[in-house]
A and B are shown apart, each in its own frame.
Chain A
Amino acid sequence: MSVPSSGPAILVEGLTKSFGEVRALRGIDLTVPRGTVLGVLGPNGAGKTTAVRILTTLLRPDGGRALVEGYDVVRQAAAVRRTIGLSGQSAAIQEELTGRENLEIVGRLYHLSWPDARTRAAELLEQFGLSDAANRAAKTYSGGMQRRLDLAASLVGRPKVLFLDEPTTGLDPRSRLGMWDIIRSLVAGGTTLLLTTQYLDEADELANEIAVIDHGLVIALGTSENLKGRVGGDVLEFTVPDRNKVTDAAEAIARIGEGEPHVDKETGVINVGVGGRGSEALVEAVRSLDAAGVRTQGLALRRPSLDDVFLALTGHAAEEDEEPGGGKRGKRRGRRSGGSDAGKAASS
């Protein structure tokens, strides 16, 4: 038997899982120290949800092992379930019941007495700003409120380790910020958190460490700063308002950057890594764009974002469709780093 009082909150070694022909996880290693946040970042179909489902005992791995609070997720699944909380992508609450009833029922299922279940429900409703809506059916709640109720339900059992599977997918920006605040205060309270997300800014904002997953493998692991360092310096970025000039612009700066410029034909945004040659590259870019007769907007150097990291690591952006001529976009596109990658998920 493992000793649950020491060691990391989550330990994953060589985890594999296939669904028929599809190799969802191809040998993943992860360590999450107690009280820290690991952001698991990757496009749809990368294997994030499969990993979470294994760690929360919902799925048996094909190979490798995973310990949560020292308990093996296969052999000590019942013990794991007593120490974890899970909040998924879809609000797993009973919409016909009130917020209070939902939490009380979850409390009963965690084997609290009725009075304790009531007290716990009231505490959580208060903490999550749902007291006023406590006696309304959950189906009348906004998306953000439902997500908060869902998260509250996952905390009824006071989990030591919390799994949040894409907690803000589909939320409007304001609800998203509210959710971030809640998550931060949970972590401040000592909860270990594993957070999956498709949003690079979300991982950047919340996680101590980030694991980038693509095609069932961890392709990079480190702090946000480490990962940004991998892009190797600054990024030159600008927008070309005249869409007919986008190709000319890309050719004009091709010699300046390190590697191929990344061109978004839809928005006219072009960026390219310029390494350590910051200001020099900026001046060259201005000259050659001027020579090519391309007008630009917002030409600037910036520190690399996680978007750039993802591009550098995988050769494709987190939010883009890989299909040739792909006008098709993920349905949640619109935010800076939003967007899913349905086409890629299917092809992986």
Chain B
Amino acid sequence: MTAVAPTAGASVPITPRGPSLLTRAHWAVTDTLTITRRNLLVWMRVPAYIMFTVIQPVMFVLLFRYVFGGAIQVPGGNYVDFLLPGIIAQTAAFATFGTAIALAQELQKGVIDRLKSMPMARSAVLAGRLVADTIRMFVTIVIVVGVGYAVGFRFDNGVGLAIAMIVLATIFGLAICCISAYTGLAIGDEESVQAFGLVWLFPLTFLSSAFVPISSMPGWLQAFANNQPVTYVINVMRSMALGGPIADDLWKSIAWLAGIFIVFAPLAVRAYKRAS
């Protein structure tokens, strides 16, 4: 064992006086970026995470395109065009599983405690998690679009709206991320979080216009599917990609997403503050 001399070579003294507001704001940004970097590094080191966030959506695209697609009748008749916006939204929502699980793990292992005992910005753990997961989600969406192009999907409505669709999908994902972050921190147990995630994420994404036209569902199910946020978002995405009316569903989507942020972002922050 090498001898330890913790006071030797002190290059950076820790100032006892409180930092200014400007310094604190600067730290809030740099600390968030540090946590973001850490989370992305972890993501890239674990093959299972890559599998979960990249390979699985690609398999979904191929499965629906080639296995189920032939049996599903859609307006316009081209299933792959119908499918892609839906599968992108589903992928973005499912990517937030990772958010909930990672936060629950960090809570269980004491990582969050440890970070809270440091003089870093307290907002950075949650903010860094959301930023990293949004970047991760964006990468996944781009990959799904790429695979979609390889199996016949085409944007028919111009580059501007194609980009708008990807942006909307990412914002939608971020909103769902806030819900997942809250569940992860509030439940705080990895396995329960995983099980609970299935309970709300599956119905929310599959009982929507993501994979099949809602008109093919039984009446009582249509009532739910037609009036839930995932359907609104997917309808807008579809119109942005392929053409069709945008405005009506866009306002409903914005209202829903804003509502989700307003409710769940503060809940997630509160759960983080309480977490231990």
Contact of B14 among A83, A92, A126 (CB under 8 A): A83
B 17-65 contacts with A by CB, 8 A: 18, 27, 30-31, 34-35, 37-38, 41-42, 45-46
Name the one of A82, A88, A120, A181 contacting B16, with C-beta atoms under 8 angstroms. A82
Residue A127 interfacial (CB < 8 Å):
yes
From DSSP, what is the main secondary structure of chain B's interface residues? Answer: loop
User: Taking the nearest CB of chain B, how far is it from the CB of A114, in angstroms?
Assistant: 10
- Residues of chain A within 8 A (CB-CB) of B18 are 78-79
A109 touches B6 (CB 8 A): no
Residue of B3, B4, B276 with most partner-chain A CB within 10 A: B4
Is B114 touching A105 in the complex (CB atoms < 8 A)? no
In Å, the complex CA distance between A97 and B43 comes to 10
When distances are taken between beta carbons in the complex, the residues of chain A under 8 Å from B116 are 57-58
Contact assessment for A59 and B276 in the assembled complex, using a CB-CB cutoff below 8 Å:
yes
B10 at the interface (CB under 8 A from A): yes
- Decide: B111 and A94 in contact? CB cutoff 8 A: yes
Stretch from B117-125, B139-147, B245-253 that touches the partner: B117-125
A82 to chain B, nearest CB (A): 4
Question: Which residue on A lies nearest to B44, using beta carbons?
Answer: A96
- A50-65 toward B: CB 8 Å interface, digit per residue (1/0)? 0001001111000000
A105/B12 in contact, CB under 8 A: no
Are A96 and B46 neighbours in the complex by a CB distance under 8 Å?
Answer: yes
Inter-chain contacts of B4 with A (CB < 8 A): 127-128, 182, 185-186, 189
Say whether A79 contacts B7, CB under 8 Å: no
For the complex, give the distance between the alpha carbons of A189 and B5 in Å: 6
- Do A185 and B45 form a contact, CB below 8 Å, given A81-B117, A81-B118? no
Q: Which residue of B lies closest to A148 (CB)?
A: B1
Interface size grouping (class) on chain A: 35 or more
Q: How far is the CA of A109 from the CA of B34 in the complex (A)?
A: 7
With A109-B120, A127-B2, A181-B1 in contact, is A4–B16 under 8 Å at CB? yes
Q: Give the residues in chain A near B109, CB-CB below 8 Å.
A: 90, 92
Residue among B10, B16, B30, B117 having the largest count of chain A Cβ atoms under 10 Å: B117
Q: In the docked arrangement, what's the CA distance between A89 and B109, Å?
A: 10
Contact A120 B12 (CB under 8 A): yes
Pick from A89, A112, A128: contact of B12, CB under 8 Å: A112
Cβ of B156 < 8 Å from any Cβ of A? no
* CB-defined contacts of A82 to chain B, threshold 8 Å: 14-16, 119
User: Which chain A positions have C-beta within 8 A of B7?
Assistant: 158, 189-191
Interface size on B, residues (CB 8 A): 41
Chain B residues with CB below 8 A from A96, complex form: 41-42, 45-46
CA distance A84 to B4 in the complex (A): 18
Taking CB atoms and an 8 Å cut-off, the chain A residues in 93-128 that contact chain B are 94, 96-97, 101, 105-106, 108-112, 116, 119-120, 123, 126-128
Residues B11 and A97 in contact, CB atoms below 8 Å apart:
no
A90/B110 in contact, CB under 8 A: yes
Whole-angstrom distance between the alpha carbons of A94 and B109 in the complex? 10
B113 at the interface (CB under 8 A from A): yes
Bound-complex Cα distance A97 to B42 (A): 6
**C-alpha spacing A56/B27, complex, angstroms:** 21
For the complex, what is the distance from the CA of A97 to the CA of B35, rounded to whole Å? Answer: 13
User: Hey, which chain B residues are within 8 Å of A120, CB to CB?
Assistant: 11-12
B9 located at the interface, meaning its Cβ lies under 8 Å from any Cβ of chain A in the complex: yes
Cβ contact of A185, chosen from B5, B10, B14, cutoff 8 A: B5
Q: How far is the CA of A186 from the CA of B1 in the complex (A)?
A: 13
Cβ contact within 8 Å between A57 and B117: yes
Decide if B27 touches A79 in the complex (CB within 8 Å): no
CB pair B1–A129 under 8 Å, yes or no, is yes
If A58-B116, A97-B42 touch, whether A158 touches B5 (CB-CB below 8 Å) is no
In the complex formed, the residue of A with least CB distance to B125 is A109
Q: List 10 A-B contacts (CB under 8 A).
A: A4-B16, A58-B117, A79-B16, A83-B16, A105-B34, A108-B31, A110-B14, A182-B1, A189-B6, A191-B7
